Structure 1
Amino acid sequence: MWCDNCLLIFPLRAGGIAWATIIFLYSFIGSILLFKYGPFLFFVYPEWQIYGGIAMGVAAIAAINAVALANRSYIWTRACTVLWPFVIVISAIRAIVMIVELERGKEKIAWECANGGQLWTTSAAAGYGSGNAPPGFCTAGFSSLNTVFIVCLLADLVFQAYLLLITWRYPTRLEHYSSLKYPTG
C-alpha cells in the first residue's frame, strides 16, 4: 500500500514551501547574528564565520527548495533531495562542534558578562569584534543560554530532516501519479 500523505503535517507542495521559508528565515537571521555577535561566543578567529557561512548555505538551499516547489520543478526538487542529506550531516557536525566550543568557552563568556559585556581581552586585542555583547545576553545566564542554544540546534536538524522528507515526497508523488494507467475510451 502506497501512502501519499504519511508524516505530512501540511499539504505536500504548499507545506513544503512554507517549511522551506521558515528554515530560510531562521537560518538567514541566525547567520547574521553569528556574523555580528559570534566573537562574544566563540573565541577562535574564523569559527563564527564558518558557522555563519554554513547557516547561510542552509538558507540558500532552503530558498532554492522553496522556489523549486513553487515552480513545480521536478529537476530542482530532485537536486534538493540529493543536497539535503549532505547539508544535514554538515549541520549536525556544526551543531556538535558549536556545543563543544560553547562549553569550552563558558569561563570566557562568564568573564565577558562580569565585565560589562565587553569582548574577551585576547579577542579584542586581535580585533575580532567591536561593541558590547547583545542586550539580554548576560542577564539570561550561561546555563539557560546554553540550553536554549542546544535545543535550537537540535530543532534545526529536525526541521531540515522534515524538509528532506517533504522534498523527497514531492517528486516521488509525481513519479507515482505519472505511472498510473488511465482508462481508454
Structure 2
Amino acid sequence: MWCDNCLLLFPLRVGAMLWATLIMLYSIAGGIVLFKWGPFLFFTYPEWQIYGGVGLAVGFVCLITIFALGNRSYIWTRVCKFLWPFLIIVCAVRAIIMIVELQRGKDKIEWECDNGGQIWTASAEAGYAGSTSFPSGFCTSGFSSIYAAFVGALLVDLAFQIYLFFMVWRYQKRLESYQGMKGPFAGGYYA
C-alpha cells in the first residue's frame, strides 16, 4: 500500500500543493540570485542565465501543479505528471554541470574575492556589464563553504522535486480511481 503523503501531515492534495509552493518559492528565488550574481560564479556568458532560466521553469511548473491540484483537474494533473520527469532530468543535468563548473572556476572566484568583489575580467568582456559587486558574504565564508552549500542545495532540490512528482503521480492515480466509484444517487452504493 502506497502512503499518500509520507512526509507531511496534510492530506495528499493539500500537502502536494504546499510542497509545490515551497519548491516554487526557493526555485524562483534561486533563479533571481543566479540572474543577479551568477556571473561572479560561472564564467561562460549565457551559463548563469540558463541555470536561472531552469530555476524559473521549475517555479512555473510548480505554479501549474498548484493550480492543477487546487482545481482537482484530471487533465492538468496529467500534464504535470508528464512534465515533472523531464524537468527532473534537466535539473539533474544542470546540477552536475553547475557542480563541475563551480569547481573549475574556483581560482577565478578566489581572485574576485581577493580583488574587492569585482567581476572576473573575462566575464565582463564576454557580455556581462553589471554594476554590482560580488557579495561580501560569499567571500568571508570561503569557497569550500559556497561549494558545499551549492552541492547540498542542488541535491536537496532534486530530492524535493522527485517527492513532488511522486505526490502528483499518486494524486493522479487517486483521480483515476474516483472515476470507477459510484455515487450515492440511484442506489449507487447498494448496486
TM-score (normalised: structure 2) = 0.91
Give the number of aligned pairs.
184
Give the match for residue 68 of structure 2.
68
Q: Does 1:174 align with 2:169?
A: no
1:132 corresponds to which residue? 133
CA–CA separation in structure 1 for the residues paired with 2:156 and 2:14: 21
Q: Does the 8 Å CA contact 1:31/1:53 hold for their aligned counterparts?
A: yes
Helix, strand or coil for the counterpart of 2:146?
Answer: helix
CA RMSD between the two structures = 1.5
* 2:6 aligned with 1:7: yes
For structure 2, list consecutive stretches of 5 or more residues without a partner in the other structure: 183-187
How far did 1:178 drift?
A: 2.9
1:52-82 superposed Cα distances (whole Å, 9 cap, x missing partner): 1111111100000011111111110111001
Distance 1:133 1:83 in 2: 35
CA shift, 1:167, in A, is 0.5
Q: Which residue of 2 aligns with 1:98?
A: 98
Write the deviation string for residues 135-178 of structure 1: whole angstroms up to 9, x where unpaired: 30101100011001100000000010010011011120122233
8 A contact 1:17–1:69 mirrored in 2 = yes
Opposite residue 36 of structure 2, the aligned amino acid is: K
Where 2:139 maps in the other structure, the secondary structure is coil
Deviation, 1:7, is: 3.2
Deviation of the 1:122 alpha carbon: 1.7
Q: Which amino acid aligns with 2:190?
A: T
Kept in 1, the 8 Å contact 2:77–2:172? The answer is yes
SS at match of 2:140: coil
How far is the alpha carbon of 1:6 from its aligned partner? 6.1
Matched with 2:185 is none
Q: Partners in 2 of 1:125 and 1:85 — Cα distance?
A: 37
Deviation at 1:132, TM superposition (A): 0.7
Structure 1 distance, partners of 2:68, 2:31, is: 23
Query: d(CA) in 2 for partners of 1:3 and 1:116?
Result: 54
- How far 1:183 sits from its partner (Å)? 2.8
> Which structure is higher in RCO with an 8 Å CA cutoff and minimum separation 6?
1
1:54 matched to which residue of 2? Answer: 54
Q: Is the 8 A contact 2:5 2:15 kept in 1?
A: no
**Contact 1:124/1:130 (<8 A) preserved:** no
With structure 1 as the length reference, what TM-score do the two structures score?
0.94
Query: Structure 1 regions of 5+ residues with no counterpart?
Result: none
